[in-house]
A and B are shown apart, each in its own frame.
Chain A
Amino acid sequence: MNTLALAVILPFAGAVAVLITGSRPNLRECVSLGTGITLAGLVASLLPAVLAGQRPHITLAEPIPGIPIAFEVEPLGLLFALIASSLWVVTTLYSIGYMRGHGETNQTRFYAFFAVAIGSTMGIAFSQNLFTLFVFYELLTLSTYPLVTHAGTQEAKQGGRVYLGILLSTSIVFFLLAIVWTWTIAGTTDFRVGGILTGKASPFVIGLLYALFAFGIGKAALMPFHRWLPAAMVAPTPVSALLHAVAVVKAGVFCILKVTLYVFGLDLVTTSWASGWLLWIAAATIIIASLVALQQNNLKRRLAYSTISQLSYVILGAFLANASSIIGASTHIAMHAFGKITLFFCAGAILVATHKSEINEMDGLGRHMPFTMAAFLIASISIAGLPPLGGVWSKWYLLLGSLDAGYTVLVAVLMLSTLLNIAYLLPIPIRAFFAGDRNTPRTITEAPVPCLIAIGVTTAMCMVLFFYPDPILQLVGLLVG
């Protein structure tokens, strides 16, 4: 059994182990954590081979003649897998503190489906063809549904319906159609460097296909198919943190990047008529989602709209389809992941410690939870893309990409977005530290220790990535030669 197969199968095995050990919480948590650490190690061990130019691959089954379920490690997928698996470890640690501190029920189900979701994410990251990608994409949707509806309340069920409704319908109506169409045109669904569609169809069909992919991958939350993400915020915070800031949404933009790179190829995208107007939809999503975020009083919803806006940075990078923009988009997957997960961790910590979820109730909290609020501040700056934090690099490359493609307007869009980021994120920690509020009871203290450790790790990563972005840049550099 080689490392690659193990990396995909391990989380599923972990889910089974969690179910078996469900009656003994301590053992169950050890199993979760152990699976996470092993997985991160396995994925990391693939790194040297990929940097050396190898592409390990494996075929599992062949359901339809010519379309196998197969995996192959390429730089972009490895980057995504690295982020997801390493953050899974951190999130598991955080969950232990959060779920116990919050007194949640059905924890075994929670950990089991969490593991399945990560397994699906690995499947997406390493998929060798569109079909495999689609299989794990759907599996990810289905496995996160019980997590979204975890609370079991009417509100949770409502959120779950929107979640499932949008993700499944876009994927069946647009994504699957695009895949089948690609298959009939190209005769294959394999991901190949330079694309598989060049010269196979008229520019009109290519453009239509590209638009189908862009909207069909609903997990990328391109407007108008973004509503599922705020709806998913009814989930427990660790789910929102890992899945709806990292695994699920990043799986969406990752799919778009992968399709851009390996199905169409950069040249084909720039010459197709669709990328021209799709660019503006992505740009509009960036601005509109930021404006909506400004009006949200619920912290998690504000973060969700912020995520929608940030996802479109990556989509924009993919649509621009030049070397700098692709580097920027890929790097942004990493940078945004670390920043946003920190913000969600903080939101969860506040919820556990104070049972507050609305922003206007958080005035003065900084005095009681200084560590959490400081982390929030740092992560906010990273999200906005300002030095000295990691977020600056991806935004830099995206700006370069916009200029290379000759879209000066997009530079203005990105700048405006930075201002908006500051406007909706920074007031929260500032008011927490400086606004006077005498109503806060003295009894409030920081969240449980496991939560704080998790917050500390991800915040540190935001800072480290500013000074040492080289590993990521080296990896994504392989994408554009």
Chain B
Amino acid sequence: MTLAQLPALQVILPLIAAPLCLLLRSGRLAWLLSILVSATALIIAVLLLRLVLENGTVIYTYGGWAAPWGIEYRVDIANAFVLAIVTSISTVVLLFSRVGASWEIKSSEQSLFYTAYLLCLTGLLGMTVTGDAFNLFVFLEISSLSSYVLIAMGPDRRGLTAAYQYLIMGTIGATFILIAVGLLYMVTGTLNMADLANLLPALEQSRTVRVAFAFLTVGIGLKLAMFPLHLWLPNAYAYAPHVVSAFLAATATKVAVYVLVRFIYDVFGSSFAFDSMPLQSILVVLGAAAVLSGSTVAIFQHNIKRMLGYSSVAQIGYMILGISLASVSGLTATLVHLLNHALMKGGLFLALACMAFQLGGTRLVDLAGAGRRMPWTSAAFVVGGLSLIGVPLTAGFVSKWLLVVAVLEAGWWPVLIVIAVGSLLAVAYIWRVIEMIYFRSATNPDEHSEETHWSLLAPVWLLIVANVYFGLHTQWSVGVAQRAAQMLFGGPG
């Protein structure tokens, strides 16, 4: 096996393991296989990232058919970075789910759960790694279909309606992407993304290309829950099993953001997207609206999982703002926030899962007095929340700092105010939870619940410590993101 096969292995490994999980039947064995596969995928992703950082883009052609005829997987710094995020979050969530999933999912259904989980992972990794526009659609549907299944596995029946709603909106989004790919093929005769990038500049004035771009933006916007296409997200996150919420919140939207970045900056090119199409003003307005409305609505939620869902909408707004700046520094901020937001949301959802299991629910009132009953979990939630707000020494601060610097560079003062107000609103919704955890005594104090098991705390704290680590040492996160952003702008990889 040579390093050249790594891009294919990255996707194929979980794809093969998924049906194996189904055959294994036993939930425990399926878990073991899943975590092995996920950890291997993580190792592959790290190897790929190192390879790409040293030697530049890695290309794998399927069946030896060279592009643009065959399908190629093309790994550069940008998607190697995203691969590393997705696989590491997936591994941490799986560490948690040995016990975490068994609370909510019947033991007879656990092997099905891990099958769907691995398929979802396959889809996300495939979307990230592929260099073919139609292949991207197929992987998008693999990840979407399996995530509908995962969400519907929640113990609450509202999980079913949430999954249904997501299915309808997700399918419309995916079909839009399909239309866009078809239109692009009509004018260029190619599906290869690198080839498209070469051919499209000459066709800037073509109406078909413009329509394709619009369809694509809306389609991806639906998948990444860009305001106002975010309606599926809060319910899906709120009623899915806790581990699924953590996994999807930290990975699915991130990959969708990456795909948007890839299409805007690489395939269409920023001059087309921002000069001949009015993308900039649209994205700025939508990003700002997402930040403000998502954060405001989050304040009024009684269910903390829903609250975190709306907060995700707001955080995606920050990423959209970074994209809309059309500058290397703005894009860097977005890419760094992909990582940092994955870390903070993953940590918060997992900590919340611990609380839900011990205290009996995820409503705000359920968390009363958690500070005394579960000190370690509560502390993890507080640190994660501070990172979400963007307090210094946490990862959240680094992304916010980069975004503010990028906005200042562009001189967009109103956006600066939006970011500041968004942070204050984040303080408000996180503080509601903190007050409840630390200042309200439990509703039925005789019920004696204690701290969760260390095997659950360990993954939670792994993510929380990562939040602090990436708040202090940014050579890795910012360094790689910066190189990726420069590369996407056509600079040297």
Direct contact of A and B (CB under 8 A): yes
Binding site for B on A (CB under 8 A): 61-65, 69, 131, 134-135, 138-139, 142, 146, 149, 152, 157, 161, 164-165, 168-169, 172-173, 176-177, 180-181, 183-184
Chain A interface helix/strand/loop/mixed: helix
**A139–B392 CA distance with the chains assembled, in angstroms:** 8
**A164–B475 CA distance with the chains assembled, in angstroms:** 32
Chain B residues in 8 Å Cβ range of A61: 472-473
- Cβ of B405 and Cβ of A180 under 8 Å apart? yes
Give chain A nearest CB distance to B299 CB in angstroms: 13
Give chain A nearest CB distance to B380 CB in angstroms: 16
**A225–B93 CA distance with the chains assembled, in angstroms:** 44
Return the chain B residue nearest A134 by Cβ: B392
- Cβ of B401 and Cβ of A180 under 8 Å apart? yes
Chain A residues in 8 Å Cβ range of B435: 157
**A149–B440 CA distance with the chains assembled, in angstroms:** 12
- Cβ of A63 and Cβ of B439 under 8 Å apart? no
Is B356 engaged at the interface, CB distance under 8 Å to the other chain? no
Which residue from B398, B420, B431, B471 sits with its C-beta under 8 Å from A164?
A: B431
Give 7 new A-B contacts, CB below 8 A, not counting A69-B472, A138-B391, A173-B420: A63-B398, A64-B401, A134-B392, A142-B386, A168-B424, A172-B427, A181-B408
Size class of the B contact interface (CB-based, 8 Å)? 20 to 34
Is B281 engaged at the interface, CB distance under 8 Å to the other chain? no
- Cβ of B409 and Cβ of A184 under 8 Å apart? yes
Given A138-B391, A180-B404, also A64-B474 (CB < 8 A): yes
Which residue from A62, A63, A152, A176 sits with its C-beta under 8 Å from B404?
A: A176
**A168–B428 CA distance with the chains assembled, in angstroms:** 11
**A64–B222 CA distance with the chains assembled, in angstroms:** 33
Is B393 engaged at the interface, CB distance under 8 Å to the other chain? yes
**A69–B386 CA distance with the chains assembled, in angstroms:** 19
Which residue from A63, A65, A138, A165 sits with its C-beta under 8 Å from B471?
A: A63
> How many contacting A-B pairs (Cβ < 8 A)?
65
- Cβ of B472 and Cβ of A63 under 8 Å apart? yes
**A413–B421 CA distance with the chains assembled, in angstroms:** 37
- Cβ of B416 and Cβ of A177 under 8 Å apart? yes
**A184–B392 CA distance with the chains assembled, in angstroms:** 18
Chain B residues in 8 Å Cβ range of A169: 424, 427
Chain A residues in 8 Å Cβ range of B475: 65
Is B160 engaged at the interface, CB distance under 8 Å to the other chain? no
Is B423 engaged at the interface, CB distance under 8 Å to the other chain? yes
Chain A residues in 8 Å Cβ range of B404: 176-177, 180
Chain B residues in 8 Å Cβ range of A183: 405
**A139–B404 CA distance with the chains assembled, in angstroms:** 21
Is B335 engaged at the interface, CB distance under 8 Å to the other chain? no
**A176–B422 CA distance with the chains assembled, in angstroms:** 14
Chain A residues in 8 Å Cβ range of B478: 64-65
Chain B residues in 8 Å Cβ range of A181: 408
- Mark contacts of B428-445 with chain A using CB atoms, 8 A cut-off: 1 yes-contact digit, 0 otherwise: 000100010011000000
Given A138-B391, A177-B404, A180-B404, also A152-B420 (CB < 8 A): no
**A176–B404 CA distance with the chains assembled, in angstroms:** 10
**A168–B472 CA distance with the chains assembled, in angstroms:** 21
- Cβ of B424 and Cβ of A63 under 8 Å apart? no
Q: Which of B252-295 contact A (CB under 8 A)?
A: none
Which residue from A152, A164, A165 sits with its C-beta under 8 Å from B439?
A: A152
